[in-house]
C-alpha cells in the first residue's frame, strides 16, 4: 500500500475514526513499514496530550463584554439601515419633484440626471467591491 494514503490514515487511526477492518489493515501496514511506524510512535504521545487539553471557561465579565458588543453592533446596524432608508426615500421624493416640476430648466435637469447617474455608479461599484471582499478580509477579526 502507498504510504501517502497511510499517512492520511495515521491521524484517522489515532483519532479512533477507523472501522475495525480499517484498523486491522492499518496495523498490518505499520508492522511492515518502518517510516509509518516511526510516525505513529512520534504522533501518538502528542495526540494523547491534545486529548487532555481543556479550555478555561471565560469569566462572566468576558461574556458580558462579548454580548454587549454584539448588541451594540446590531443597534448600529439598525440605525444605519434606517438612516439609509430615510435618505433613499427623501432622495426619491426630491428627485421626482426635481424632474417633474416644470419650473426647473432642462439644463439643470440634465445636470441633476448626470449627477444622480454618477453617484449611482459610484455606489454600485463600492457595493460590488464590498460584497466581493466580504468574508475574505483576513484582518477582520483583529482587535485594534
Mean pLDDT of successive 10-residue stretches along the chain, which has 144 residues? 69 88 90 88 88 87 90 92 93 87 89 90 92 76 70
* The pLDDT of residue 121: 96
Domain edges within the chain? 3-52, 76-133
**Amino acid 79: pLDDT:** 94
pLDDT at 1: 41
pLDDT value for 124: 95
In order, the DSSP letters of the chain are --HHHHHHHHHHHHTT-S-HHHHHHHHHHHHH-HHHHHHHHHHHHHHHHHHH---PPPPHHHHHHHHHHHHHHHHHHHHHHHHHHHHHHHHHHHHHHHHH-TTS-HHHHHHHHHHHHHHHHHHHHHHHHHHHHTTT-TTTT---
The pLDDT value recorded for residue 5 is 66
What's the confidence (pLDDT) of residue 144?
61
Amino acid at each position: 500500500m502507498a504510504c501517502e494514503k497511510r499517512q492520511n490514515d495515521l491521524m484517522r487511526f489515532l483519532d479512533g475514526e477507523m472501522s475495525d477492518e480499517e484498523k486491522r489493515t492499518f496495523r498490518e501496514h505499520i508492522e511492515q513499514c518502518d517510516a509509518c511506524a516511526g510516525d505513529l510512535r512520534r504522533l501518538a504521545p502528542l495526540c494523547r496530550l491534545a486529548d487532555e487539553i481543556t479550555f478555561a471557561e471565560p469569566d462572566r465579565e468576558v461574556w458580558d463584554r462579548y454580548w454587549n458588543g454584539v448588541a451594540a453592533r446590531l443597534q448600529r446596524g439598525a440605525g444605519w439601515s434606517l438612516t439609509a432608508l430615510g435618505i433613499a426615500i427623501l432622495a426619491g421624493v426630491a428627485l421626482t419633484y426635481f424632474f417633474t416640476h416644470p419650473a426647473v430648466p432642462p439644463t439643470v435637469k440634465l445636470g441633476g440626471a448626470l449627477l444622480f447617474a454618477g453617484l449611482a455608479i459610484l455606489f454600485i461599484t463600492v457595493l460590488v467591491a464590498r460584497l466581493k471582499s466580504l468574508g475574505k478580509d483576513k484582518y477582520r477579526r483583529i482587535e485594534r
